[in-house]
Amino acid sequence: MNWVTHEVLPAIRRHGAYISSGKLEELMQSPDTWVKLIRTLQQERREKTMLKAKIKKDKSKVAFATAVEASKDGILIRELAKILKGNGINVGQNRLFTKLRKDGFLIRQEGSDYNSPTQKAMELGLFKIKETVFTEPDGKVTLRRTAKVTGKGQSYFVNYFLAKPKTKVKKVTKKPSKTTKSKSQKKETKNV
């Protein structure tokens, strides 16, 4: 501590900088070391200026992201698909459901829990469940559960899909029945 208060700070006050005696000796021996030191300082200043400009530019985005993460209300998965599309991730509602099931965020198994958040996704705080009591015209009362993406989940999924290498989701197509031939089969028949 004495070294800082007795040597470093007084040197900074007198000369505007502190250079150790070993570095000072090196600087005196080689002018190239001075040039290298000055270029390094210039590069650091440029980087610092660029980072300050980026912070200033991103200030509103950071404020928005912070507000989204802190929000109590969730959004539907179709709305998340729109947010992702706005961030350059080409996905619609159905493909997003497919990706979320494939990546283990939604339950894949057909049944009453299909497309419900997995335990992992709930523990991460990515979803919340909204339960609504619905009375059908015949008087039967049912409970509907809707998965909603939390603010934390919105930020998580935007970052998750931006970081993930882009892969195409295969579209499910119907296989041609035995009685109808596909276009390629018809061409083969004509060529024979």
For residue range 30-73, list pLDDT tens digits in order: 878 878 888 988 999 999 999 999 988 887 677 667 767 666 78
Quote helix, strand, coil % in the chain, to nearest 5: 55, 10, 30
Judgement on whether residues 78 and 149 belong to the same structural domain of the protein:
yes
The whole-angstrom separation of Cα 134 and Cα 113 is: 18
The whole domain housing 22 covers: 2-67
The mean pLDDT value for 163-167 works out to 68
Looking at the domain assignment, is residue 140 inside a domain?
yes
Q: Which ranges of 16-118 would DSSP assign to H, the alpha helix?
A: 21-29, 31-70, 77-86, 93-102
Examine residue 174 and state whether it is found in any structural domain, yes or no.
no
Pair 52, 82 in one domain: no
Residue 168 lies in a domain: no
180 assigned to some structural domain: no
- Structural domain count, the chain: 2
Mutual angle of helices 151-163 and 77-86, in 10-degree steps:
50
Residue 84 domain-assigned (yes or no) = yes
Q: Both 93 and 150 in a single domain?
A: yes
Does residue 186 sit within a domain?
Answer: no
Residue 50 belongs to a domain: yes
Q: What is the pLDDT of residues 66-114, one digit of tens each?
A: 767 666 788 899 999 988 888 888 899 999 999 999 999 999 998 888 8
